[in-house]
């Protein structure tokens, strides 16, 4: 059974982080429309720095982990839809305040990238 964050995929624990991250992105891009709006996933995936991270979803909101499994550490902020059809960018995790409210998902995820640590540990 696959959990909401894409973990639990058969064989995932046997693969390296890069393969697990790629497989998790594939899952969200192709099979997770019941968990998260596909437009959200596509907008996040369009950001090269986010593609390096392992995505997860909670209550329809994507988040990003540096690393996989129990060793993964949540980094950056999050994007949430607002009632008026815009997007609130919050973050980073250590200081979850609203950074901005923007009109498009593309703007929101480009801004979210700015909440990531300068260097990402491997």
Domain assignment present for residue 17? The answer is yes
How confident is the model at residue 64, as a pLDDT? 94
Domain assignment present for residue 121? The answer is no
The total number of structural domains in the chain stands at: 1
Sign of the torsion angle spanned by Cα atoms 107, 109, 112, 118: negative
Domain assignment present for residue 98? The answer is yes
Measured CA to CA, the distance from residue 23 to residue 84 in angstroms comes to: 33
Domain limits for position 41: 12-113
Domain assignment present for residue 5? The answer is no
C-alpha torsion 94→85→53→57, nearest 10: 80
The pTM of this model reads 0.81
Domain assignment present for residue 7? The answer is no
101-110 long-range Cβ contacts below 8 angstroms, 24+ apart: 104/43, 105/39, 105/40, 105/43, 105/79, 106/43, 106/46, 108/43, 108/79, 109/43, 109/44, 109/46, 109/47, 109/50, 109/79, 110/47
C-alpha torsion 119→62→51→116, nearest 10: -20
Measured CA to CA, the distance from residue 120 to residue 5 in angstroms comes to: 20
pLDDT along the chain (122 residues), means of 10: 44 66 96 96 98 94 90 90 95 85 97 84 48
Domain assignment present for residue 81? The answer is yes
Measured CA to CA, the distance from residue 90 to residue 16 in angstroms comes to: 30
């Amino acid at each position: 059974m696959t959990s909401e964050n894409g973990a639990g995929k058969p064989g995932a624990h046997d693969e390296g982080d890069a393969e697990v991250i790629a497989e998790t992105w594939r899952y969200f891009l192709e099979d997770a429309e019941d968990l998260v709006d596909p437009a959200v996933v596509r907008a996040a995936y369009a950001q090269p720095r986010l593609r390096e991270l392992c995505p997860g979803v909670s209550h329809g909101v994507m988040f990003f982990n540096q690393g996989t499994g129990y060793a993964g550490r949540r980094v950056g902020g999050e994007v949430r839809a607002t009632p008026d059809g815009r997007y609130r960018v919050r973050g980073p995790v250590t200081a979850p305040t609203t950074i901005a409210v923007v009109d498009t998902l593309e703007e929101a995820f480009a801004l979210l990238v700015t909440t990531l640590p300068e260097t990402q540990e491997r």
